[in-house]
Chains A and B, each alone.
Chain A
Amino acid sequence: MSAITASAGIEPSGPRPKQVTAARVGIYAFLLIAALFFLIPLIVMIMTSMKSMNEIRGGNIFALPTQPTFDYWVKAWSSACTGVACTGLAPGFFNSVKITLLSVPISIVIAMINGYALSFWRFRGAELMFAILVFGAFVPFQVLVYPIIFGLSRVGLFGTLPGIVIVHTIFGMPILTLLFRNFFSSLPVELFKAARVDGAGFWRIFFSVMLPMSVPIAIVAVILQVTGIWNDFIFGLVFAGRENMPMTVQLNNIVRTSTGTVEYSTNMAATVLTGAVPLIVYFVSGKWFVRGIAAGAVKG
């Protein structure tokens, strides 16, 4: 990567002398600029949420807050109005937690079983099912909302917590199944055969052998699902029922509502608060994401 010409007189010996090369500097410069590009919006969001409206009006969004305040966070959390009620995001937060905590494990376990069955228990039509699922990944959600509404109301789950969990499971299924299928296909088939010889059946192999092995890819799945489900707005609005409305619905009401003038501070505080959960999940487990994705995504 670096060209070093031994200047006359010095007898090369030992390690090659280290040089700061232009390429190396360039790489760091590129990475730092890129990092700035990625971080600025978050910084802007946080800074804006800590400025008063006057300050926002007076300066620009890139200026540091002169008198940082968390008032708007408090307001967004507990007293911002959405319609008649002025309860902030708090009630929706717990609904979102509820929906996420239920939907994430259920959707992942089902997708995991799919991937496992598709990799090891191929039966007639399994590939077709999979092709349909992959096709399903391309269908705009809203097109399928109608049939699902009819289906769920037929079984009495429309507008209930189980209803929204089912919806998230359905829409998470294509990509998650793809991930798990790729992951399980990369495992040695001998493992499966050994378990079969040991007399284990479908479920036993799944729970005792496959499940414990799929931790890396499961982490990827958890991250994807937490993000997707937490950020969902449309499904929550339609399927969750009024008691279970997720936080994003209130976020939408807050940011789309203007009391005379747009209160960017509150909007941004609400935005940051709503994004906080998946953000924390990423910052904590982001490095597992890259590692895990190698297990499920790279194999075509």
Chain B
Amino acid sequence: ADVEVIHWWTSGGEQAAVSVFAKEFDKTGDKWVDNAIALGETARAAIMQRALGGDPPDAAQFNPGRQYEELISAGLLLDLTPLAEKEGWDKFIRPAETVAPCKIDGKWWCVPVNIHMNNWAWASIPAFKKAGLEVPSTWDEYIADLPKLKDAGVIPFAIGGDGGGWQVSLMANQLILAQLGAANVEKIWKDKDLDLAGGPEVLKAFQTLKALGGYADPGSPNRSWSDTTSLVISGEAALQVMGDWAQGEFQVAGQKPGVDYACLLGPLLPDAKNVRIGGDIFVFFKQKDPDVERAQLSLASMMVNPQVQAMFNTAKGSAPIRDDVDLSLANDCMKKAIEVLKQPGAVVPDQNVWRNEAFATAQNAIFSDLIYNANTTPEAAQAQFVELLKNAE
């Protein structure tokens, strides 16, 4: 049967990755009906509105967390538990932070397809060379390099402000994580610890963000992450903090890690103890046609298939959701990540798991205002952040 899938994977690397799913699925005799809608917010809004209208797609992409909680409670989603139990998803999907968003109260509602590590820094080796510098290995080194990079005519700090400022938010999260560590991060976003959120460590992170903002280029405010990455790829910019999906862009551009670019995990820490992970999941909407349901389950099963996982994640630049994957194709950066992933307690989940999308939208606004509005002080932004957290549900 035809299975219509809505996703927002439209950039180069993403296209390659999603094509893996589509090709593999078509081989099973069913048909992947692709419905790509650029931009996550737009795509999710379309999914939700179609769900409300009683005409949901057969499968849809989300980020793990609370984005689809209403769909579950409204009973719109296909229960994947029988399939998961049959295939033993519990046993091979790891870490626990990846399982949690999909397995709620003992029932599986979605399929995680990849693990993204958000806290990477991507550095252009030629750009640093141009300024007569080595790629820094610590954050302090980098901060010291900023003025020199600027003098050399390189954009010292690459960041983009599109989509309401999620890139800035990602950056800010890193800075806060670096200040507080994994446990405290959970206290803030999960338990709404306002004292901590209003404390000096967080303020330090805000101050750093503001300072970094001064080294961004004028083209930054409404730039997409991939445009920003391409600045690093071309060597116009020195360093970008972005999730591992940026890796795909370097690959498409034919660049080699260690030669053309460097991947630095946990850029704020001397050695990476924590990784913040996110990823993508797919939900399946209940459909009347049993044949479609069969095809949906077949697609779900295929998505966690080790071979498919290997091909998909290689193309996407993300980590597979299972260990027993042939990672011979993975490059050095990827391997580095998977090592860290294995360490217990290393994983910090994305805040999406605790707070809803509305919170994220509001938080993005605060961070991007801080970085792009010269008049906004770190203190003011922190106050807004505390207020937001107080009202969050």
Q: Is B253 an interface residue (CB 8 A)?
A: yes
Contact A159 B12, CB 8 Å, known A83-B7, A84-B19, A261-B230: no
Check A85 against B230 for contact (C-beta < 8 Å).
no
| Given A82-B36, A84-B15, residue A258 in contact with residue B224 (CB < 8 A) | yes
Inter-subunit contact A83/B53 (CB<8 Å) = no
Residues of A within 8 A of B4 (CB): 242
B contacts with A, residue count (CB < 8 A): 37
Q: Please count the residue pairs between chain A and chain B whose beta carbons lie under 8 angstroms apart in the complex.
A: 99
Instruction: Contact check, A260 vs B15: say whether CB atoms are below 8 A apart.
Output: no
Q: Is A81 an interface residue (CB 8 A)?
A: yes
List residues 153-174 of chain A with CB under 8 A from any CB of chain B. 153, 158-159
Q: Which residues of A contact B10 (CB under 8 A)?
A: 81-83, 253, 256-257
- Closest residue on chain A to residue B234 by CB atoms: A261
CB of A105 within 8 Å of the partner chain? no
List which A114-170 residues lie within 8 A (CB) of chain B: 145-146, 149-150, 152-153, 158-159
Residues of A within 8 A of B85 (CB): none
CA distance A261 to B250 in the complex (A): 11
CB of A260 within 8 A of CB of B36, answer no
User: CA separation between A242 and B58, bound complex, in Å?
Assistant: 12
B131 within 8 A of A: no
Q: With a CB–CB cut-off of 8 A, which chain B residues contact A258?
A: 11-12, 224, 226-227, 230
Give per-residue flags for A68-85: 1 if the beta carbon is below 8 A from chain B beta carbons, else 0: 000000000000011111
Question: Is A159 a contact of B50 with CB atoms below 8 Å?
Answer: yes
Collect the chain A residues with CB atoms within 8 Å of residue B230's CB. 258, 260-262
A253 B36 Cβ-Cβ under 8 A: yes
Q: Is B380 positioned at the interface, with any CB of A under 8 Å from its CB?
A: no
A158 adjacent to B54 (CB under 8 Å): yes
Q: Which residues on the A side are within 8 Å of B224 (C-beta)? A: 256, 258
Q: Would you call A257 and B52 a contact (CB within 8 A)?
A: no
User: Is B32 an interface residue when CB atoms closer than 8 A count as contact?
Assistant: yes
Whole-angstrom CA separation of A84 from B35 in the bound complex: 8
Q: In this complex, what residue of B is CB-closest to A261?
A: B230
Interface residues of A in 256-278 (CB under 8 A from B): 256-262
Q: Do the beta carbons of A238 and B46 come within 8 Å of each other?
A: yes
**Among the listed B15, B49, B233, which residue makes an inter-chain contact with A145, where contact means beta carbons less than 8 Å apart?**
B49
A81 to B15, CA, bound (A): 8
| B297 contact set on A, CB distance < 8 A | none
Of the candidates A238, A256, A260, the one whose C-beta lies within 8 Å of that of B38 is A256
Contacts of B291 in A (CB 8 A): none
- Measured between alpha carbons, how far is A238 from B57 in the docked complex, in Å? 12
Chain B CB within 8 A of A237 CB? yes
* Interface residue B37 (Cβ < 8 Å from any Cβ of A): yes
B6 to chain A minimum Cβ distance, whole angstroms, is 9
In the complex, A258 Cα to B12 Cα: how many Å?
A: 6
Asked if B18 is at the interface of the complex by the 8 Å CB criterion, the answer is yes
Closest to A255 in B: B38
Complex CA–CA separation, A257 to B52 (angstroms): 27
**Is B350 in the interface zone, CB < 8 Å from A?**
no
Q: Please name 16 further chain A to chain B contacts, defined as beta carbons within 8 Å, in addition to the given A257-B11, A257-B15, sorted by A numbering.
A: A83-B7, A84-B15, A84-B22, A84-B36, A150-B53, A153-B55, A158-B53, A237-B37, A238-B53, A241-B55, A253-B10, A253-B37, A256-B10, A258-B224, A259-B12, A260-B253
A-B contact pairs, 24 of them (CB 8 A): A82-B10, A83-B7, A83-B15, A84-B22, A85-B34, A146-B52, A149-B49, A149-B53, A150-B53, A159-B50, A159-B53, A238-B45, A238-B50, A242-B4, A242-B33, A252-B39, A256-B38, A258-B12, A258-B224, A260-B233, A260-B249, A261-B230, A261-B233, A262-B227
- B residues at A contact (CB < 8 Å): 4, 7, 9-12, 15, 18-19, 22, 32-39, 42, 45-46, 49-50, 52-55, 57, 224, 226-227, 230, 233-234, 249, 252-253
